Amino acid sequence: MVGLKGRKLKQSRAILITGPAGSGKSTLAARIAQNRDWVHLSEDLHWVAIKQGHPAGEARTQEEQRIVQPAVVQQLGTLLAQGKNVVLGFINYQDPPQPLLYYHAALREISCPVLVKVLHPSAEVIMVRKKTRGRVDDQDIEQEWKNTKHQLACTASSAIADDWILDNSALTVEEVYVKYFLAFVEGKSW
């Protein structure tokens, strides 16, 4: 693992938000990043770059993970060293949730206060969100239903702490933010 050990932080904090595609990670991370000294970092940007020219929906490989995850950790470390607080959003698609465990370990290595939330709305809510956002790669309903069910099943991993799970099916982004993130964002809880 490319670690963050030895990096100097300026009282920075991090939030890891993961869950299935369409669970609200990016929207929630963008809301958090509206706060002073908070930055939204998306693992997806690294995946878009590495998958350029590949068929849409192609599975992520371990070899690609070994490129993407250290790059994300380096970017995360740079932002934290600059005194920024970082909210990192990424898809949960494995059991055990290797990306989550990787990022969490990197942050713990430097004793960075970290809040972890695994979004777990219902499959029906996710499918409605995907339809609403209208992305080209979300249009194969049958495949998206399979992906959604698989990704939701991955959130049941024994490696995911119960208090990390957040069912945001019936909550607005603002309600989720206020109830589960505001105190941490403001530095009132770790």
- Beta bridge partners, 89, equal 17, 42
Q: Which domain holds residue 55?
A: 14-185
Q: How far apart are CA 155 and CA 18, in angstroms?
A: 9
Give me the sheet containing 114-119, strands edge to edge. Answer: 38-42, 85-91, 14-19, 114-119, 165-166
Quote helix, strand, coil % in the chain, to nearest 5. 50, 15, 40
77: left (phi over 0), alpha (psi -120 to 50) or beta: alpha
Residue 36 inside a domain? The answer is yes
pLDDT in tens, 142-172: 888 898 999 999 999 999 999 999 999 999 9
Residue 5 inside a domain? The answer is no
Residue 119 inside a domain? The answer is yes
Mean pLDDT for all residues in the chain = 90
Residue 69 inside a domain? The answer is yes
Residue 2 inside a domain? The answer is no
| Contact yes or no for 150/57 (Cβ under 8 A) | no
Q: How far apart are CA 185 and CA 8, in angstroms?
A: 20
Please measure the distance between the N-terminal and C-terminal CA atoms of the chain and give it in whole angstroms: 25
pLDDT in tens, 177-189: 999 999 999 998 8
Residue 8 inside a domain? The answer is no
Record the pTM.
0.89
Domain count across the chain: 1
pLDDT in tens, 68-123: 999 999 999 999 999 999 999 999 999 999 999 999 999 999 889 999 999 999 99
CA pseudo-torsion sign 4, 1, 30, 121: negative
Residue 7 inside a domain? The answer is no
CA pseudo-torsion sign 104, 50, 29, 98: negative
CATH code for the domain of 141: 3.40.50.300
